Amino acid sequence: MPGPCQDHGGASLISRRFEALDGCRGLAALVVLAYHVFAYAHPTGPLSGGYLAVDLFFVLSGFVLAHAYGPRLQAGLSPARFMGLRLARLWPAYGLGIAAAVTIALLTTRPAGLWQATLTALLFLPFPQDLGQGPSLFPLDLPAWSLFFELAANLTYALLHRFLTVRRLLALLALAVIGLIIVAVRADGLHAGWAPDNFPGGAPRAAFGFFAGVLIQRLWPAGLKPASGPVPALIGLAALSVLFVPVAVPLRPVFDVLVVVLVFPFSVAVLSAAKLPTGLGKVTAAIGLISYPLYVLHMPFMPWLRACPLVVLPVLLVASYLVGRLVEPPLRARLERALRV
């Protein structure tokens, strides 16, 4: 996931914060949490496609990182330094999530292989041993599967950014769409990337989403100018209502591909052009602030979230806000200094 949706570079662009995208990130994180808590066992009910919010994260990440770092990469920022900045962004809250998962495991099941799983988790790598929680390759913090593929997409972008013309981006996206179709047909949808039997499916999901975001950012200065008023934001959010549509299992592959390929890029493009009133912008900024901590902190507490969500969820939301506001910034600054290459 990207950081706060703010432009950091490019004199040719209007320096501004993308408040609507902040809200979009927060909504996506809440959808993922709600999917894990309520909808995971109901394959055709509302929020049964909540896992698609991760694909929305990928599009947002591509747009924001291309906007913030594209000019810096063009100006000479090295791929190694870029990846150091990305690790510094992702590690603090994620490390807290891993620490919580390890602590809970030590106090409860004490599974074999815990310390090996901890080491691989801190490196954002898959761990093939089952710790007793199902067939996840990321047993300590399930959302880490998307961070693995996010970092792979980040590295690819950093290495190839000088060669990624619009035409080449379109060719790359076409190949990724083919991959999405294959995954959707084989897995009855795009719920893939996290387990041994569907792990390769994470690659086309991350590739399409991330580089679709990069393409939107490339085209943004040419045609998408900030638009005041609620209309762009309402259009973008209305498109995202597809996340709440119940879909019959036979239709899931087609639905998932269409949402990822058409709806999410459209929503991000429209929301990137939305300029919110100051008051609403502050609200979406706060929602965006909790999105990443909430995303990486919620899984270790899933048994309690499912047992008493009305009690645990507010506590988790407050904790995520405090992590985003007070814990992440100083830790990120230290990591950026330590990872300076």
Q: Give tens-digit pLDDT for 184-207.
A: 999 999 999 999 999 999 999 999
Residues 21/59, Cβ–Cβ less than 8 Å: no
Query: Which of 208, 237, 210 lies closest to 24, judged by CA?
Result: 237
For the stretch 29-69, pLDDT in tens is 999 999 999 886 676 778 889 999 999 999 999 999 999 99
Q: pLDDT category, 18, cuts 50, 70, 90?
A: confident
Residue 256 placed within a domain:
yes
Query: Which of 90, 58, 69, 72 lies closest to 268, judged by CA?
Result: 58
* Separation between Cα atoms, residue 282 and residue 33, nearest integer Å: 23
Residue 13 placed within a domain:
no
* Separation between Cα atoms, residue 150 and residue 131, nearest integer Å: 24
pLDDT for 252 equals: 95
Structurally, how many domains does the chain consist of? 1
Residue 2 placed within a domain:
no
Give the domain range for residue 255.
19-338
pTM (2 d.p.): 0.93
Tokens 């320096």 sit on residue: 15
φ/ψ of residue 6, rounded to 5: -135, 140
Instruction: Please say if the pLDDT value at position 3 is more than 80.
Output: no
Collapsing DSSP states into helix, strand and coil, what is residue 229? coil
* Separation between Cα atoms, residue 219 and residue 206, nearest integer Å: 20
pLDDT for 12 equals: 38
Residue 286 placed within a domain:
yes
Instruction: Please say if the pLDDT value at position 10 is more than 50.
Output: no
* Separation between Cα atoms, residue 239 and residue 340, nearest integer Å: 40
pLDDT for 39 equals: 80
Residue 24 placed within a domain:
yes
Residue 241 placed within a domain:
yes
The contacts of residue 247 (CB under 8 Å, 6+ apart) are: 44, 48, 49, 255
Residue 8 placed within a domain:
no
Residues 200/180, Cβ–Cβ less than 8 Å: no
**Tokens standing for 289?**
């602030």
* Separation between Cα atoms, residue 245 and residue 279, nearest integer Å: 30
Residue 7 placed within a domain:
no
For the stretch 75-87, pLDDT in tens is 999 999 999 999 9
Our CA angle for 129, 40, 141, nearest 5°, is: 35
What percentage of the chain carries pLDDT values higher than 70? Answer: 91
